[in-house]
Amino acid sequence: MRYYLKIFGCQMNYSDAERISAFLDEYKIKQAASVDEADLVIFVTCGVRQSAEDRVYGQINNISKHYPKKKIILTGCLAHRKDVQRRLKGKVELFCEIKNFPKEIKKILNTKYQILNTKDKLCKDYLQITPKNSNPYTAHIPIMTGCNNFCSYCVVPYARGREYSRPAEDILREIKSLVKKRYKEIFLLGQNVNSYRSVKINFPKLLHKIEKILGNFWLVFLTSHPKDMSDELIEAIAQSKKICEYVSLPAQSGDNEILRKMNRHYTIAHYRKLIKKIKLSFEELRANSDQGKRLALDKLPPAISTDIIVGFPGETKKQFENTAKLMREIKFDMAYINQYSPRPETAAWKLKDNVSKKEKVRRDKLLTEILKKTALENNNKYVGNVIEVLVDKKLGSKLSFGELRANSKQGESLALEPHEYLAHTRTQKKVIFFSNKKIPIGSFQKIKITKAKAFGLVGKIN
């Protein structure tokens, strides 16, 4: 028996899929290279926006039409929804929430397929499964699941349930084992990592414990909620050598009235103050640091990323303008801009979705234009600096090489350097660089940045 995974949505789903893979491996159920070769097709679904949901329906309908014998299993953020179950009745063999995946899938394997030897390996908590990491140098570790915040637009607390923090020992054990295998980058995942708490360990304390693990690795975490970003956490970020200079702090809106309707529990003044504090604490650290802790990023500010929703019910042009103003002012490095999509079960579901699609698209585009400008402005500060990067892949495409060469003042020298690579910085900026030597994938390298683009940098090996 073989399975194929279809994964939608955020890093948490990709991380869950690594646990599903490890679990099925144990029962000698092999991963297929395509749907064609699979007996089971497992959908790890996302319910954050209607578009993600529609893609799932489209693909399931397609599979059940063309491959009626294949068994479809649906897990992730749509699995618990009764309307989804009704809609896909007869096409999906099993709907199961991720936390019940081990138990439920075993039941099916035992009863329907008589796959033996599954009785004694009862796995109570799916988070205790050691994942089958899909990348050999970057790993994503969920430190908590669920959410208690009930932002009025958001389905996560319904789809994933209440907040649960994994025991710190489990997280530390998982990281130590990855570092032993020479992993270079660890992402800690949670819907609101700042509210992590397990017994007496809060998030900054967990970070201190991770910092003490010996080894050269980068540490990144997603996502922080502005209402819970404490001074203790900002200090921990700025002082750590391992924590990357990348802060993901979703603002969602730049207007206080909309934030109130979103049930976000902070004001824009609070958000501004946080950004100021984060930037200041990095500057102070640099001024006091005598050991060049942060390599080439010494001279550069931390990267700030945000999430924004445009067209929340009742968002007026003026209220939207406040978001545009915030974006111009903060000068984000990255912003995930989302057009509001009404979600069943949420509080905002009852509000009239009264900003037209056309207007949502306009607002989305306008913010994207601001982002392009501010990101480019920030990226320009990298030019001339030598930056540490983590190498992701070798690029073979003549086209992008040619394009880059055409765009680069250094065209002639680049023409002599045939190897082109994609990498990223500690600030999660993509870097294309050239080298006349072959470079190992998953290694740290120092790159001299020669050119900045809105969403990336170009450089050469130093």
Q: Which does 48 bind (CB under 5 to 8 A by kind): ligand SAH, ligand SF4, none?
A: ligand SAH
Determine if the peptide bond prior to 427 is cis (ω within 30°).
Answer: no
Residue 307 found at the interface with ligand SAH (CB under 6 A): yes
Residue located via tokens 């992730």 = 76
CA distance 20 to 11: 14
Q: Which does 202 bind (CB under 5 to 8 A by kind): ligand SAH, ligand SF4, none?
A: none
How many CB atoms are closer than 10 A to CB 150? Answer: 12
Q: State which of positions 176-235 bind ligand SF4 (CB under 6 A).
A: 191-192, 225
Q: State which of positions 46-85 bind ligand SAH (CB under 6 A).
A: 48-49
Are 251 and 307 spatial neighbours (Cβ–Cβ below 8 Å)?
yes
Q: Which is nearer to ligand SAH, 142 or 250 (CB)?
A: 250
Q: State which of positions 129-168 bind ligand SF4 (CB under 6 A).
A: 147, 149-151, 154, 156-157
Q: State which of positions 362-381 bind ligand SAH (CB under 6 A).
A: none
Q: Which is nearer to ligand SAH, 181 or 336 (CB)?
A: 336
Q: Which is nearer to ligand SF4, 205 or 265 (CB)?
A: 265
Q: Which is nearer to ligand SAH, 184 or 225 (CB)?
A: 225
Q: How far is the CB of 144 from ligand SF4 (least distance, A)?
A: 11
Residue 313 found at the interface with ligand SAH (CB under 6 A): no
CA distance 389 to 79: 39
Residue 341 found at the interface with ligand SAH (CB under 6 A): yes
CA distance 45 to 347: 22
Q: How far is the CB of 99 from ligand SF4 (least distance, A)?
A: 16
Q: Which does 157 bind (CB under 5 to 8 A by kind): ligand SAH, ligand SF4, none?
A: ligand SF4
Applying CB under 6 A, the span of 21-29, 199-207, 277-285, 340-348 interacting with ligand SAH comes to 340-348
Can you tell me which of 133, 145, 152, 191 binds ligand SAH, judged by CB under 6 A? Answer: 191
Q: Which is nearer to ligand SF4, 147 or 201 (CB)?
A: 147
Residue 153 found at the interface with ligand SAH (CB under 6 A): yes
Residue located via tokens 């203790």 = 232
Q: Which is nearer to ligand SF4, 266 or 320 (CB)?
A: 266
Q: How far is the CB of 145 from ligand SF4 (least distance, A)?
A: 11
How big is the site for ligand SAH, counted in residues (CB under 6 A)?
A: 17
Can you tell me which of 15, 145, 194, 223 binds ligand SAH, judged by CB under 6 A? Answer: 223
CA distance 252 to 237: 22
Residue 338 found at the interface with ligand SAH (CB under 6 A): yes
How many CB atoms are closer than 10 A to CB 1? Answer: 15
Q: State which of positions 224-243 bind ligand SAH (CB under 6 A).
A: 225
Q: Which does 361 bind (CB under 5 to 8 A by kind): ligand SF4, ligand SAH, none?
A: none
Q: Which is nearer to ligand SAH, 348 or 449 (CB)?
A: 348
Q: State which of positions 241-280 bind ligand SAH (CB under 6 A).
A: 250, 252
Residue 154 found at the interface with ligand SAH (CB under 6 A): yes
Are 145 and 127 spatial neighbours (Cβ–Cβ below 8 Å)?
yes
Q: Which does 424 bind (CB under 5 to 8 A by kind): ligand SAH, ligand SF4, none?
A: none
Q: How far is the CB of 43 from ligand SF4 (least distance, A)?
A: 21
- Distances in whole angstroms, Cα of residue 5 to Cα of each of 42, 90, 296: 5, 20, 39
CA distance 330 to 377: 12
- Distances in whole angstroms, Cα of residue 353 to Cα of each of 8, 251, 264, 357, 359: 25, 21, 19, 10, 12
Instruction: Write the interaction track for ligand SAH spanning residues 13-52; mark x where CB under 6 A is met and - where it is not.
Output: -----------------------------------xx---
Q: Give the residues lining the site for ligand SAH (CB under 6 A).
A: 48-49, 153-154, 156, 191-192, 223, 225, 250, 252, 307, 309, 338, 340-341, 343
Q: Give the residues lining the site for ligand SF4 (CB under 6 A).
A: 147, 149-151, 154, 156-157, 191-192, 225
